[in-house]
A and B are shown apart, each in its own frame.
Chain A
Amino acid sequence: MVDLLIEASALAFHPYVLMYVFLGVLLGITLGAIPGLSGDMAIALLLPFVFFLEPAMAMGLLVGIYKGGLFGGSIAAISFGVPGTPGAAATSIDGYQAKLKGKPSKALHTALYSSVIGDTTSDLVLIFIAVPLAAVALTFGPIEFFALYAFSLILIAALSQGMVAKGLAVAAIGILLAMIGRDPITGASRLTFGMPGLSGGLSLIPVLIGIFAISEVVIQGSKLWRRKVDKLMDDVAEQASLLQGYDIRKDKLTWPEFKATLKATYIGAAVGTFIGALPGAGQSLAAFMSYGLAQRFSRKPEEFGKGSLEGIASAESGNSATAGSTFIPLFAFGIPGSATAALFGAAFILMGMTPGPSLLTDNTEIIYALFLTLIFANLVNLVLGKFLLPYYSRIAMIQPGYMIPAVFILAIVGTYAANNSVVDVWVLLFAGVLGVTLRLMSFPLAPLVLGFIIGPGAERALRQSMIMGGGDWSVLITSPIAIGFYVAAFALILLFTLALRAKT
């Protein structure tokens, strides 16, 4: 193994390859920072390029974009409360609060470090135990997936601390939104109320950005307007003083602060790596699950949602830790587990390598070079991120009166560009109205998004299990893995209740 890595290093550390990694990361961070756009889109656009490049260089470029994009999403999430990518939605919960408290640099650095740690963990797992872990992923059939989703739903209830009823209610609304469109089993349109534009269902990006970001932007807009009408010049002065009083040297992430976030980072790394290896589960699920777990195991759970650095660290490392493990099913079985993996699969095919079990044996050198590139790209991400962050934290402090309109417009155009879909823009605005309404009624928003993400998977898994079991509900508890999830869920509820009781 190690000798193979050494052999591949000549290929991986070729100056041109390094240059492409660098370029990729820069591009990825920039694109990821724009709401609606993610590294995936850039990778899709660059696919034909791959055919004309040396495989190692092409890989370097694509890997760089991917990793840069994963971290870049958190920049907009923290600076403007607008997640740049779906994976960064959980980061925006605490990240934006931290920024409002005048700590954008701390928040961004926490995000950068936890992102790099999570990502590196995941890459190491990919490199050293790709094949055995893929075998675990294969044992997940519909029954096991349903158990996993049910387990995640229970974590949702845990997420909405103190407001379990309202949390469950918005999770139900999220599931309902996800049911709009085509019935996965019969293919019939449902809940579209005669609108053909809805027949394909609501896409994730507009719902996510609408619920989290547009609603936040509108609330911020309302505060600005009130200030303007009331001519509250002291507020303006306060804003100005926040700008003037902002001292980047005081906003440095200290070593003890960083150390305090490490537990959350490790939780995120473990959860993200595991979720990433499961086909179809995705970055957002990983980020929210890590966030929920980290909050439960934190010494200061009450700070979550109010700018907790631990919250940022768990969400961001959970999000980035899917980066390496998402390739596990692709390498071991040729099954792309995510949109990104599918794009890399297409790139392999264009370079004449077939994803699947023979990929490693037929192309040992290039794949090991890819492994090294994955690790190296993290380093570039760290260095480049560190270099760029001071500028980004300054941007975060620009006058909101000018910034909010620009962010709103970028979110609209970015959402359209992601899928070239006009319907998505209308969905975005509608989701914004819904988000504002729910905020006014003090509903938590994270469970809605989680319900939206896992709703379709849970339904499909449930109905597939029932079809396979001939309509007998007991089929759901025929798998040891599934039973394990149910027991774990039960144990967690018990643990949380006891913990709560002990506190009061």
Chain B
Amino acid sequence: MTTVTVKLSRSNRIYRSSEPVEGKIVIKSPNSISHQAIRLSVNGSVNLQVRGGSAGVIESFYGVIKPIQIVKKTIEVRSSGRIPPGTTEIPFSVNLREPGESIAEKFYETFHGTNINIQYLLTADIPRGYLHKPLSATMEFIIESGRVDLPESPLPPEMVIFYITQDTQRHPLLPEIKTGGFRVTGKLATQCSLQDPLSGELTVEASSVPITSIDIHLLRVESIIVGERIVTETSLIQSTQIADGDVCRKMTLPIYVLLPRLLMCPSIFAGPFSVEFKVCITISFKSKLAKAQPKSDPTAPRLWMALERLPLELVRTKRDQFSC
């Protein structure tokens, strides 16, 4: 059985748009294979899709919207000939962007969302004439913004101070919470480098009703222009509990959330689509109702919960990830 794999030079498969994507095509074959040429193609695109969520019935009917091409090129790594039996490694190097070459779209960073997918694929094709099935292998690689286009590091710390009290809530609260009152304050960096954790702090200053949990939810907001309308989909990426139970009052709790890779990318505001992020702080109070409530969206407003949503701008900074 002949197998073909594409192996990238970097184990994390992360490349900048300015860098050549390097690696090798590994062919393992028990017998010699003749081929017409070995070609490698790079394909980068933004796939947009509207499904469920806040999209209307009509929009969902549209189905897939035409993807946006970022890059598509094919190179021949080996002209036609024979591959000897055994393992053959064919190294390659592809420049995504030739100097001076203008491309239609920006190299967005790789992102896998609900409705928006930004993906870069590397495909090796080995056509073998009519009689044989062509061999092929695909490998995804990840694009991070090149250094050149990045803002200077470090980011100016942009901390937002927030207050959460019974009066800041726009949804109805349980009467005992409303009357008893509570006050939670804190601060959070709303502009955040992707390499850094989301950080901030939070203090429960007062609460008459015992708290059961305080959570930090990361939300992503994907918007797509479909025809005349903008379809926006908000989805939960990750929840992180920072307080379990009725914590001590006036004690500062740290907010520290490591941003998950691949699921997050720098905030994008492109023409046909945008990817934004939000932080939602939820404070759950002790209530019998909460127990009766079945599993559901943790960021939805409830009678026994206080919420605070803060925008989060994610950027890629120049700084090395693990600077010492």
A, B from the same assembly: no
A interface list, Cβ under 8 A from B? none
B interface list, Cβ under 8 A from A? none
